[in-house]
Amino acid sequence: MTTETETAPKPQENRVFEADVAKLLHLMVHSVYSDKDVFLRELISNAADACEKLRFEAISTPALLGDDPKPRILISADEDARLLTIEDNGVGMSRDEMIEALGTIARSGTKAFMERLDAAQAKDGAQLIGQFGVGFYSAFMVADRVDVFSRRAGSDEAAVWSSDGQGAYTVAEADLAEAPARGTRVVLHLMEDAKSYAERWTLERIVKAQSGHVPVPISLVEKPGAEPTQIADGAALWTKPKSEISKEDYAEFYKSLAGAYDDPAMTVHYRAEGRHEYTALAFVPSAQPFDLFDPDRKGRMKLYVRRVFITDEADLLPRWLRFVRGLVDSNDLPLNVSREMIQESPVLAAIRKGLTNRVLGDLEKLAENDKATFETVWDAFGPVIKEGLYEDFERREQLLKLARFKTTTSGENWRTLKDYVAGLRENQTAIYYLAGGKPEQLLSSPHLEGFRARGVEVLLLSDPVDSFWVTSAADFEGKPFKSITQGAAELALIPKLDGDSEPAPETAASVADFIAFAKTTLGDAVADVRTSDRLTESAVCLVAPDFGPDRQLEKILASSGRAGSSAKPILEINPTHGLVVALAAKGADDQAFREDAVSLLFDEAKILDGERPADPQAFSGRLARVLERALR
Same domain, 151 and 25: yes
265: CATH? 3.30.230.80
Buried (b) or exposed (e) across 321-349, using 16+ Cβ within 10 A?
bbbbbbbbbbeebeeeeeeeebeebebbe
Report the pLDDT value the prediction gives residue 113, as an integer from 0 to 100: 45
Report the pLDDT value the prediction gives residue 125, as an integer from 0 to 100: 39
Q: Is 133 annotated as a binding residue?
A: yes
Same domain, 326 and 416: no
Report the pLDDT value the prediction gives residue 108, as an integer from 0 to 100: 34
Q: Which of 339, 364, 379 is the last residue of a domain?
A: 379
Q: Which of 186, 206, 226 is the last residue of a domain?
A: 186
Q: Is 88 annotated as a binding residue?
A: yes
Judged against a pLDDT cut of 70, whether residue 336 lies above it is answered with no
Q: Is 591 annotated as a binding residue?
A: no
Q: Is 131 annotated as a binding residue?
A: yes
Report the pLDDT value the prediction gives residue 8, as an integer from 0 to 100: 58
Same domain, 21 and 164: yes
Same domain, 62 and 174: yes
Task: Share the mean pLDDT of the chain.
Answer: 85
Same domain, 446 and 320: no
Q: Which candidate, 394, 555, 562, 386, places its Cα nearest to that of 486?
A: 555
Q: What is the tens place of the pLDDT at every residue in 426-454?
A: 999 999 999 988 888 899 999 999 999 99
Same domain, 458 and 536: no
Q: Which of 483, 498, 530 is the last residue of a domain?
A: 483
Same domain, 407 and 461: yes
Number of domains in the chain: 4
- Residue 540 forms beta bridges with which residues? 573
Phi, psi (degrees; rounded to nearest 5) at 544:
-90, 155
Same domain, 148 and 259: no
99: CATH? 3.30.565.10
Q: What is the dihedral of CA 84, 88, 91, 93, to 10 degrees?
A: 10
Q: Is 68 annotated as a binding residue?
A: no
**Residue 202: inside a domain, yes or no?**
no
**Residue 211: inside a domain, yes or no?**
no
Q: How far apart are CA 542 and CA 551, in angstroms?
A: 8
Q: Is 42 annotated as a binding residue?
A: yes
Q: How far is CA 297 from CA 108, 293, 346, 381, 517, in A?
A: 7, 7, 24, 15, 54
470: CATH? 3.40.50.11260
**Residue 619: inside a domain, yes or no?**
yes
Q: What is the tens place of the pLDDT at every residue in 2-14?
A: 444 445 567 788 8
Q: Are 531 and 541 in contact (CB under 8 A)?
A: no
Q: Which candidate, 350, 348, 382, places its Cα nearest to that of 363?
A: 382
**Residue 5: inside a domain, yes or no?**
no
Among 207-216, 379-388, 435-444, 608-617, where is mean pLDDT lowest?
A: 207-216
Same domain, 47 and 116: yes
Same domain, 472 and 537: no
Same domain, 305 and 166: no
Q: What is the tens place of the pLDDT at every residue in 570-628?
A: 999 999 999 999 888 875 667 888 899 999 999 999 999 888 898 999 999 999 998 88
Let me know if 150 is exposed, middle or buried by CB neighbors in 10 A (0-12, 13-18, 19+).
buried
Q: Is 514 annotated as a binding residue?
A: no
Query: What residue numbers bound the domain in which 587 lies?
Result: 509-631
Same domain, 152 and 259: no
**Residue 77: inside a domain, yes or no?**
no
